[in-house]
Amino acid sequence: MDKEKNYIQHIYRLMLGLLAIAFLYVIWPYISSVLLMLIFAFLFTTILLSSVDALERKIRNRGLSVLAVTVGLIAAIAIFIGSFATNLADQAGDFSQRLETESFMDDFNGFIDNTKAKLPNFVKGGGDDVDAASKLNEVVGNLMSTLLTFAGALGSFVFNMIMVIIFTIILLLNYHQFKKSLVNFIPNKYFEVGLRLIFNIEQQVSNYLRGQLLAATSVAIMSIIGLYILNFFGANLTLVIFIGIIAGLANLIPLVGPFIGMLIAFSVALMNNLGIDAAQSHMLFNSIPSPFYLFDIALMFIIVQQIDNNFITPLLVGESVGLHPIMVMIALLIGGTLLGPIGMLFAVPAAGIIKVIGQEVSFVTKNAHLL
């Protein structure tokens, strides 16, 4: 009789579970963006919490601490973006002016012809002899229309960011109370295990984020130093500090991130050095052709990545997540497939959290008689 009751209970639970999944599937499109905002707000809260707590310790006022930290951060980001946008606009303006001049077109066509002439026959592939400069013009035109679409997306991005900032401020203000309310839902039997689980998850996420931020800072500093060294050898790169900072921030996204800083440096090198013979015929180590210092830049970023991957990240992030490299790769692939670059950003800490939950669940299962 008892066995039968148990069986019915299992079926009842399974049906309830399936209903919950179906309900989640139906409402997912309506709640996914809000959930994503909340996840971002939670991550920002985790990053900023220690600063707010430290400031609160000094000025003895939580509200003022949250205000000072968030306003300071927003001001720093606004100054960075504003200054970067102005400099980039100047650079683009200068470049488009140079694009107008005929000598530049000739330079560019000459460079393409020279490059083609140097290529072995099988690479040329018998393609049509097209006007390279007009093709470049076409590319720039396409880029402009892409930029307009981007401006539209920027509007919704700004709205989302404002919401994330508001959520972050609320979470920072009431973090300890929110956590307490959440903990209150845990049944008595699992209370201490639940507390330990929440504490371990917090530690996991904050260690990972702090480690990653320190690694990103070191990548930014090393990239800036590397770009200045390249400039010393005549690479003629501008926006060095911005490229370095973007390279550092992009480094937060594993695997893909490191290439973002490199691509920006490539485009700046190309814009600045078009029409300069010395740059076009530059040789890396006096033996490998490296037009516009492209291979120099790539080599510099590879060196920075190697230092970061082999020395800095293991030291700073190292054991914080404690996942096997294969698990990190699998997590990144799943995150990337599900949510793109954002998914890749969250993949490793999410996998770390799942690991902590798994450990606790296994502990509870093994020690159920103690609870």
Partner 1 sequence: MKSPLWSNVFKNWNSQESEKVTALKQVPVFDGLSNKELEEIEKLTHERTYQSGEHVFKNMAPSEGMFIIISGAVEIYLDNAGTKNVLAELTDQDFFGEIALLDEEPRSAGAIATKPSTLLGFFRPDLLSLMDRNPALSSKILTNLGAVLAERLRKTNELLSPKSDN
Total binding residues for partner 1 by CB under 8 A? 25
Residue 202 CA to residue 3 CA, distance in Å, equals 41
Nearest by Cα to 275 from 261, 259, 295, 291: 291
Q: How far is the CB of 189 from partner 1 (least distance, A)?
A: 8
Q: How far is the CB of 73 from partner 1 (least distance, A)?
A: 19
Which residue is it, tokens 């008892």?
2
CB 275 within 8 A of CB 95: no
- Interaction between residue 357 and partner 1 (CB under 8 A): no
Q: How far is the CB of 355 from partner 1 (least distance, A)?
A: 18
Q: Which is nearer to partner 1, 148 or 368 (CB)?
A: 368
Residues 54, 85, 143, 302: which binds partner 1 (CB under 8 A)?
54
Q: What is the DSSP string of 319-344?
A: GGT---HHHHHHHHHHHHHHHTHHHH
Residue 183 CA to residue 176 CA, distance in Å, equals 10
Q: How far is the CB of 202 from partner 1 (least distance, A)?
A: 8
Q: How far is the CB of 369 from partner 1 (least distance, A)?
A: 8
Q: How far is the CB of 367 from partner 1 (least distance, A)?
A: 7
- Interaction between residue 50 and partner 1 (CB under 8 A): yes
Q: How far is the CB of 365 from partner 1 (least distance, A)?
A: 13
* Local structure of 284: helix, strand or coil: strand
Residue 121 CA to residue 131 CA, distance in Å, equals 19
Q: What is the DSSP string of 119-182?
A: S-HHHHTT-----HHHHHHHHHHHHHHHHHHHHHHHHHHHHHHHHHHHHHHHHHHHHHHHHHHH
Stretch near partner 1 under the rule CB under 8 A, chosen from 51-59, 138-146, 217-225, 321-329:
51-59
Residue 238 CA to residue 219 CA, distance in Å, equals 18
Q: Which is nearer to partner 1, 204 or 290 (CB)?
A: 204
- Interaction between residue 359 and partner 1 (CB under 8 A): no
Alpha-carbon dihedral of residues 174, 178, 181, 185, nearest 10 degrees? 180
Number of H helices, E strands in the chain: 13, 2
Q: Which is nearer to partner 1, 60 or 324 (CB)?
A: 60
- Interaction between residue 47 and partner 1 (CB under 8 A): no
Q: Which is nearer to partner 1, 124 or 180 (CB)?
A: 180
Residue 289 CA to residue 330 CA, distance in Å, equals 37
Site for partner 1 in 168-227 (CB under 8 A): 176-177, 180, 183-184, 188-189, 191-193, 195-196, 198-199, 202
The binding site for partner 1 (CB under 8 A) comprises 50, 53-54, 56-57, 176-177, 180, 183-184, 188-189, 191-193, 195-196, 198-199, 202, 363, 367, 369-371
